[in-house]
Structure 1
Amino acid sequence: MKRDSRLSGVLHVLLHMAELKGPVTSDTLAGAMQTNPVVVRRIMAGLREAGFVNSEKGHGGGWTIVRDLNAITLRDVYLALGEPALFAMGNRTESPGCLVEQAVNSALDDAFRDAEALLLERFGAVTLAQLSADFHARMVASGKTIDLETIHAS
């Protein structure tokens, strides 16, 4: 099963966007996410509906972050993406006739529910500002500078 990397990709570009003074085009974001600009626009539309970003059309337009990074958590972004599945594992069948498989499903369902609740709790405790601070510390330690336009050029 293919992994859903939208959360990672969106967090990545949001942190890049936070470093920039002006709007960022869907083409530039698509380069950073290694996807198509149409996919970026679809993903960013959910973030716009959540009030995290804004978009302007035309020359000089693009996407900008409109909410303070301290006010956006990983959970907020996850929810804005439509709550993609957190785990690739699942039950073999949802309504098995076999009593053994029913017992297996029950145990797995409990474990998946507990793990999901813990993960979402952790997502809610991490803000984009914390990720940005970590990025800045890594940048200082590496002695490098980051430029969205060139670092992800194909």
Structure 2
Amino acid sequence: MRTDNRLSRVLHALLHLDGMDRPATSDEMGHMLNTNPAVVRRIMGGLRDAGFVTSVKGHGGGWTLTRSLSEITLLQVYDALGEPTLFALGPSEDAPSCLLERAANEALGDALQTAQTLFREELSGVTVADLATTANAQRA
């Protein structure tokens, strides 16, 4: 199964953008993230729609932050990406009339909902600036 790494990539990109004194092109960001510039534009589009970044086309254009990293929580970034699926696990639909399958699905659903809630709570308490602080402390 393929992993969805958009959240970590976008956080990485935001941290780099904060340290730049000019707009970063999609090509530059693609090199930073080891991905195609078209992928950068696609994943950054949700952040633009959320008001975290802006983009300007043409010579001298690129991506820039519109808000301080201390004003952006990891949950807000996760939501801007469309809330990527956390787990590959899910309910079975093989025998919807079977009471045993329903019981198994209900237990799994409850556990997944609890995990989703905890994940969102954890993300809501961390800003992107907190990540920069952690990285800078590790450099020292």
**Match of residue 2 from structure 1:** 2
TM-score under structure 1 length normalisation: 0.86
What is the alpha-carbon distance in structure 2 between the residues aligned to residue 49 and residue 67 of structure 1? 13
Amino acid at match of 2:35: T
Shift of 1:33: 2.0
**Match of residue 31 from structure 1:** 31
Shift of 1:14: 0.8
Shift of 1:34: 2.0
Shift of 1:95: 6.5
**Match of residue 49 from structure 2:** 49
**Match of residue 121 from structure 1:** 121
What is the alpha-carbon distance in structure 1 between the residues aligned to residue 131 and residue 72 of structure 2? 11
Shift of 1:35: 1.8
Percentage identity across aligned positions? Answer: 53
Amino acid at match of 1:48: R
**Match of residue 12 from structure 1:** 12
Count of residues paired in the alignment: 140
Residue segments in structure 2 that go unaligned for 5+ positions in a row: none
SS of the residue 2:96 aligns to? coil
Q: Contact 2:47 / 2:81 at 8 angstroms: preserved in 1?
A: yes
Cα gap change, 1:94 to 1:69, in 2 (>3 Å)? farther
Q: Contact 1:3 / 1:88 at 8 angstroms: preserved in 2?
A: no
Amino acid at match of 2:64: T
- More moved, 35-44 vs 90-99: 90-99
**Match of residue 132 from structure 1:** 132
